[in-house]
Amino acid sequence: MYKIQYDIQIQSPVILSEGYPERNLTETLDYIPGSTVLGVLAAVYKYQKKLDNPHLDDTFYRWFIKGDLIFENAYIAVCVNTISKKYERTWPIPLYIQQNKKGDKYYNVFLLEPEEQTEPISGYFSNTKNSRIVNVKRRINVHNERDEFLGHSVDGKIFNYEYIEPGQKFIGEIYGDKKDLEQLRELVGEERNIRIGKSKNVEYGSALLTFHEIEEYKKDELFQSEHLEDNKVVLTFTSPCILLNGNGYPDISIHSLKRYLDEVFGEKTYDIKNYVAKSMEIENYYSAWQAKKPLDKAYAAGSSFVIEFMKDAMEFEEELQRVLLYGIGERTNEGFGRVKLDYVFEEKYSFVKGEKDNDYVVRPNGRIPQLVVDIIKYNVREELKKKVEITAIQEAKVFERESGKVPANSLLGRLELMARDCDKDEYIKNVKKVVGMGDKENNENRRERYKPAYDSLTKCHNGNQTLLEFIINCKFIKELEEGNAIYNLIQVDRGTLREFLTQEQIDECKDIKTLFKIYWINFFGELRKYNKEKKEMVSND
């Protein structure tokens, strides 16, 4: 196996959308996905070869569809020598490396239990103990919303683009056979001006792609035997990891991760002893197919898992080599599922923070304009909605996994419809009526009438509660009403938000009635989807 490093120098603002079209803020990723690089090079190949049906071309199919070439994500580069203009590659910071609230002490939470509260670190660092933390410089542009049918802007409506600032360099690598990489480099050239991201036909998306020399991928680069002390390794994803469950649907769970690890190491040869993980959603437009790819759930980069082998870990050296080279999960040729082992694994760390001009937010002097206040309030509301949706779906999945059987869609639809039409207290009363708990005339005939609904909701469970108990005593709904709900859900410090909004403005962002409905609509919607997928699987069999 060989590799070639590529650099991407951003020349104009770049928008790499995270894919939430319902929001009036288009957020950008802070890295360049391997799928984006794959799409750019696929377009170059198609243009150079003048292909009308590129999928019929053997080389195009192997490189960009089959997966003979692996395109790693490009992460922000840090200049380590201004005279020679030498840049160093960076990586996402593992989630097990956390900082205290002041941001001046750093701990490995797998090895230590700090007395003070800790939180994950945003940004990237190089693979060294004493590393510099780097954050990608991003800004927001405000545009008038344009009606494509009318052909002019809509009065009073705005649309916001978050973008990566020009002048920054990103570094990634492509892996494959030497001959394929030589052909790719010859086709593209040592340097090429490219367009990436959204709105790339206007003022956004200009970049310079540079290829370095082809090198052999050496074994000692990715793995050394000292990683296997005590038969344990810490596996860290350096890019998002997409997993599928046994039914072929995206699923982020330890159970699904074990399915993939079982294929590599064998069943009952290891155990996952500890982990720190975070989820995310991925939506891409795949240029090689000229089509939009569906939304995928994934473990976020930095998610880490402690794996202990049941026997001498040295016996698994070959398997670990394969994991490090080819990754774990789905769409690995697009840069997903890349991993490292025992990634800078120390008890404590010393980091150098980036210069102030690298800060994500530069606070101007003077009063905050009302437009900015409105944008912040809107984004807080939308972020709250998104977090509530994700939480509802995740909690529904626990019932699917633990119980295996959920109530019929007719009952779930009825419960969802009730949630749309009433507040929390009224909803609980109505749910109790559905199962007969609120019926004063509790005679034999009426009990039989309510029995199917009651049995369905009590037989379904999440390992701790029945579905009926969960609905009536929903912990998450109660937490939404607490004063710290906004800060906890969107993971923002109270002091930071108060710099931009008054407490009254913050409270206005939390519409409990709306969030209540969003939660139950998504919760029951996920359960109904589960029933539908099971039915389709049975009919296909």
Alpha-carbon span 105 to 171, nearest angstrom:
28
pLDDT for 15 equals: 87
DSSP 281-350: EE--EETTTTEEPPPEEEEPTT-EEEEEESS-GGGGHHHHHHHHHH-SSB-GGGTTT-EEESTT--SEEE
Which pair of structure tokens corresponds to residue 460?
A: 């379904």
Which pair of structure tokens corresponds to residue 132?
A: 């510099």
Q: Residues 226-255: pLDDT tens digits?
A: 555 678 888 999 999 999 988 888 888 899
Alpha-carbon span 244 to 434, nearest angstrom:
36
Domains, the chain, in order of start with CATH, read 2-215 (3.30.70), 220-349 (3.30.70.1900), 370-540 (no CATH)
- Nearest residue to 511 (alpha-carbon basis) of 539, 488, 480, 533: 480
User: Is residue 131 packed enough to be buried (19+ CB in 10 Å), middle (13-18) or exposed (0-12)?
Assistant: buried
Q: Residues 182-227: pLDDT tens digits?
A: 999 999 999 999 999 876 556 788 999 999 999 998 765 555 545 5
In this prediction, residues 279-292 reach a mean pLDDT of: 63
Residue type, 446: R
- Nearest residue to 58 (alpha-carbon basis) of 172, 210, 183, 175: 183
**H or E, element range at 32:** none
- Nearest residue to 521 (alpha-carbon basis) of 361, 447, 362, 413: 413
- Nearest residue to 517 (alpha-carbon basis) of 479, 487, 477, 486: 477
Which pair of structure tokens corresponds to residue 309?
A: 């082998």
The number of helices, as runs of H, and strands, as runs of E, in the chain is 16, 26
- Tell me the pTM: 0.67
**Range with the largest mean pLDDT of 169-173, 250-254, 370-374, 457-461:** 169-173
34, pLDDT greater than 90 = yes
DSSP state of 314: G
360, pLDDT greater than 50 = no
Q: Residues 308-317: pLDDT tens digits?
A: 999 887 888 8
In this prediction, residues 382-390 reach a mean pLDDT of: 86
Banded model confidence at residue 151, pLDDT cuts 50, 70, 90: very low
Residue 262 CB neighbours (<10 A)? 13
Q: Between the CA atoms of 376, 381, 382 and 388, what dihedral angle is there, to the nearest 10 degrees?
A: 140
Pairing of strands 232-237, 339-341: antiparallel
Pairing of strands 124-125, 91-92: antiparallel
Q: To which residue do tokens 């774990």 refer?
A: 328
The answer to whether 178 and 214 have CB atoms below 8 angstroms apart is yes
Pairing of strands 232-237, 304-309: antiparallel
DSSP state of 177: -
Residue 121 CB neighbours (<10 A)? 20
Banded model confidence at residue 510, pLDDT cuts 50, 70, 90: confident
Q: Residues 432-464: pLDDT tens digits?
A: 888 887 655 555 555 677 888 898 999 999 888
**H or E, element range at 208:** strand 206-216
Q: Which residue has the higher pLDDT, 379 or 188?
A: 188
- Nearest residue to 8 (alpha-carbon basis) of 164, 139, 172: 172
In this prediction, residues 146-169 reach a mean pLDDT of: 66
Alpha-carbon span 372 to 395, nearest angstrom:
34
